[in-house]
Structure 1
């Protein structure tokens, strides 16, 4: 006789939910990394603009050009502040997804443990049935040999 767990579909569902939570966490981590890369690019661009502004000042460029570079640096600064806020939100999202995954993992573990207990109980009952059949066969043989 083969073991059949009555709640196997629930175990499968919990496993699928855990897998989906893993994908969602992976996606959130990817978004966080993209935001961090974008921030790094903004810092690099700001640094380049500072250098361009210094170079323009050294070569006696028109004031309007230096001013335009300064305005662009200020714009980059505001972009950096916004990007830092985006990164903070992405961190919060990653933490939320990690908590969700942890919850799903625990949920799956509970159902797997219940299935394992049920399987062990089934195995013990099968062994007991088998032992009872062997005992009955031995009793019948003994009774036949005793006659």
Structure 2
């Protein structure tokens, strides 16, 4: 007799949900990394510009160019603030997706554990039935010898 798990369809459904949650999580990680990379680039650009401006100030710099740099740094600050929010939102989404993935993993593991226990019970029942059949065959052979 072949082992048939009674919750096989549910297990396959939960496994598919887990795989989908894994894909969504990986996408959220990618989005977080992209946003963090953009934020890093903006911060690096601002640092480089401030360094360049301080070097130029030592040698003298026209007021118009100072204003231009300050305006550009102000715009960079706005972009940095925006991307900090984007990174925070992406991190929160990523953490939420990670929690959902962990929950899906737990569900799948529960059903796999139940399947494993059911399979062990099935094997034990089969072994018991086989043992009883062997006992019966032995008894039949013994009875056949007694009759002769």
The TM-score, its normalising length taken from structure 1, stands at: 0.91
Q: CA RMSD in A?
A: 1.5
Q: 5 Å matches for 1:24-35?
A: 24-35=24-35
| 8 A contact 1:11–1:111 mirrored in 2 | yes
Which runs of no fewer than 5 residues in structure 2 stay unpaired?
none
How many aligned positions are there? 147
Structure 1 partner of 2:86: 86
Structure 1 partner of 2:100: 100
The TM-score, its normalising length taken from structure 2, stands at: 0.91
Structure 2 partner of 1:37: 37
Distance 2:115 2:82 in 1: 49
CA shift, 1:58, in A, is 4.2
Distance 2:35 2:94 in 1: 12
Structure 1 partner of 2:137: 137
Structure 2 partner of 1:115: 115
Distance 2:140 2:14 in 1: 49
Q: 5 Å matches for 1:33-72?
A: 33-72=33-72
| 8 A contact 1:56–1:66 mirrored in 2 | no
Distance 2:122 2:44 in 1: 65
